Amino acid sequence: MFNKNSPTKISQNLIGFIIAFSVFIWSFSAGIVTIALPTISQYMDINTALVSWVVVAHLLVLTSFLLIFGKIGDYVGYKNIYLGGLFLFTVGSYLSGISLGITQLIASRILQGVGSAMLLSMTPAIISKVFPHTTRGKIFGFISLATTIGLSLGYGVGGIVTEYMGWHWIFFVTVPLGAAATILTYFYLPELKTGIEYRGFDLVGSILIFLAVILLIMPIEMGSKLGWTSPLIIGGLISSGVIFLIFYQWEHNYKNPLFHICLLKQKQLNISIIAGFMTSFVLTGTIFLLPFYFELILNYDTDVAGIIILLSTLLIIVVGPMSGRLADKIGSKLPAILGALLLATTMIILTLIDPTVGEFGVVLIILALIMRSLADGIFSPANNKLVMSHSPPKMVGSVSSLLNTAKYLGLVLGVVIFETIFDSTISHSSGHMEGVTGTGAFQYSVPVETLLTGFHHAFMIGVFICVLIVAASFLAKENTDVTDGLEVEPINKDIIEPES
């Protein structure tokens, strides 16, 4: 229930806090795991290609299920999916912590991925349902802030925890946080009905999109091991393309599709979604490699590397909310362009860094990290608002899940492709394939010049992608003729009915 004539901000603020806190936990977990990957690699005596699956498996499952849970949320309500996601994520964290080997760890991370898909697919939908268009930029800014703070603290805390307590504890520390978020959500997040009548679930479409994403990511990840001309690699990529086409045709003809094909005809919606995909690709690929850069090139301990990444992102505490408010006042296009330009500059700096110049090289790395975080904090709220401004009122859940599908597909591909370029480069330069099939200790015996070449090749791909992001940001336009969100009274579990 709500009353637009006498709205209160108490409930809105509480809902905003719950969403931001939940996203913080997810990003904190992502950061704390990423910084610990080199240690896990050494502990289990595995290479970067295999240890990357601790991240890739989680993101792969997350990406594959986003559209599915977005559609289910439109039927059963956003709270139910959100709550279930927090619960599964917390259980997955505990199971990851007690894992005895890489297989068990990856399996636990897959369970976490399902929970993450449920949680993250609902986040933009809840924001669009609860908050009016005139304040959504600010809310998306706080979500971006929570994401960045979570990642930054994850790197800092993860380095310290890994160094002094062991890598198992990087998963245990998120369990009480997840439990707290689950309790808050249960008691204080209201039911959000969409008013959409249940007309059956698109099981065929769900299976098709899951297979298409899996068959896209796995061949890219395995290409450097089996060879890019391997029948398995080529066959997997072709199969993915064919299944995507079948999915498109099925969704076009099915009466109650998982994904509304009509959304693909909205040019401005697609431009902003593609820009978000490419930005996630660059941001995640970069931050995946940087811990290895600190440890392999600069010989820093894990805790030192984590603290450097943490300190370099503190400015985002101010920039994130300011960027969201700026998008509300002047529109989202200019902040998106500025963020894209900052990210492009970041990648150019990373390709030019030479650690042999001493302290100046370290200063440049820290500068690049600061600019990367600023770029994320400025671009993400603006681009999210751009996307949701083009969402039809009855398709908020679908557009929300489409936005996140693109974003997290970018996360997966960023990790996979940056890691593949790095491993392939050092393996080729070393004259054998041990870099991708040998042990995790192999990279520590590779000459610095060879490692540096691998990092630079990966970062150069980031520069090219950033040029496309800048172009997309210039082309993007915001739809200002948008239905406002709901104004929520300070209630616990009353139902918010959809606007007529």
The mean per-residue pLDDT over the stretch 391-399 comes to 71
Within 293-393, residue ranges assigned H as helices are 302-311, 316-330, 333-352, 359-389
Q: What is the pLDDT of residues 356-382, one digit of tens each?
A: 555 666 778 888 888 888 888 788 888
- Residue 245 falls within a domain, yes or no? no
In this prediction, residue 321 carries a pLDDT of: 67
Band of residue 107 on the pLDDT scale cut at 50, 70, 90: very high
pLDDT at residue number 5: 36
- So what's the pLDDT on residue 182? 94
CA–CA gap between residue 460 and residue 265 (Å, rounded):
32
Tokens of 90: 């917390």
The answer on pLDDT for 496 being more than 60 is no
CB contact at 8 A, 43 and 99? no
**Which residues are paired to 496 by β-bridges?**
192
Whether residue 497 lies inside any domain: the answer is: no
Whole-angstrom distance, CA of residue 379 vs CA of residue 345: 14
DSSP one-letter code for 386:
H
Q: What b-and-e string marks burial along 27-58, b requiring 16 or more CB atoms within 10 Å of the CB?
A: bbbbbbbbbbbbbbbbbbebbbbbbbbbbbbb
* 167-177 CB burial, b ≥16 within 10 A, e <16: bbbbbbbbbeb
| pLDDT score of 499 | 37
DSSP state of 165: T
CA distance to 59, 113, 118, 202, 262, per residue, from 62 (Å):
5, 5, 8, 19, 24
Asked whether residue 237 is assigned to any structural domain, the reply reads no
Backbone angles phi, psi at 437, to 5 degrees: -120, -10
Cα angle: 32, vertex 35, 40; to 5 degrees = 100
Range with the largest mean pLDDT of 84-98, 214-228, 359-373: 84-98
Residue 209: inside a domain, yes or no? no
pTM: 0.71
Identify whether 206 is part of a domain. no
* Residue with the larger pLDDT of the pair 133 and 22: 22
Tokens of 50: 């295999």
* Structural domain contains residue 44: yes
CA distance 169 to 461: 34
Please report, rounded to a whole number, the percentage of residues in the chain having pLDDT higher than 70. Answer: 82
Distance CA 16, CA 477 (A): 26
Average pLDDT on 302-323 reads: 69
pLDDT band for position 241 (cuts 50, 70, 90)? very high
Task: Report the pLDDT value the prediction gives residue 86, as an integer from 0 to 100.
Answer: 95
Torsion angles phi and psi, residue 391, rounded to 5? -85, 125
> What is the rounded distance in angstroms from the CA atom of residue 269 to the CA atom of residue 403?
9
Q: Cα(481)–Cα(49) distance, rounded to whole angstroms?
A: 47
Identify whether the C-beta of residue 282 lies closer than 8 Å to the C-beta of residue 340: no
pLDDT in tens, 440-468: 444 556 677 777 888 888 899 999 999 99
Question: Which DSSP category does 497 fall into?
Answer: P
What is the Cα–Cα distance from 183 to 395, expressed in whole angstroms? Answer: 28
141: closest CA among 20, 263, 260, 291? Answer: 20
pLDDT digits (tens, 9 = 90+) for 194-206: 666 667 778 888 8
In whole angstroms, what separates CA 448 from the centre of its chain? Answer: 30
Angle at which helices 53-76 and 203-226 cross, to 10°: 170
- Whether 62 and 120 have beta carbons less than 8 Å apart is answered as yes
Q: Is residue 403 part of a domain?
A: yes
For the ranges 174-183, 206-215, 259-268, 490-499, the lowest mean pLDDT is seen at: 490-499
Total count of domains within the chain: 1
CA distances from 196 to 349, 498, 499 (A): 49, 10, 12
Compute the distance between CA of residue 47 and CA of residue 59 in angstroms, rounded to an integer. Answer: 19
Handedness of CA 478, 122, 65, 174 (dihedral sign): positive
Q: Assess if residue 211 is contained within a domain.
A: no
CA 235 centroid distance within chain: 28
CATH of the domain at 280: 1.20.1250.20
Indicate the pLDDT class of residue 350, thresholds 50, 70 and 90: confident
SS3 258: coil
- Residue 187 near residue 492, CB atoms below 8 Å: yes
Q: To 10 degrees, the CA torsion angle through 135, 141, 147, 150?
A: -100
Q: Across residues 266-290, what is the average pLDDT?
A: 87
Q: How many CB atoms lie within 10 A of CB 393?
A: 13
Q: What residues make up the domain containing 442?
A: 11-191+256-481
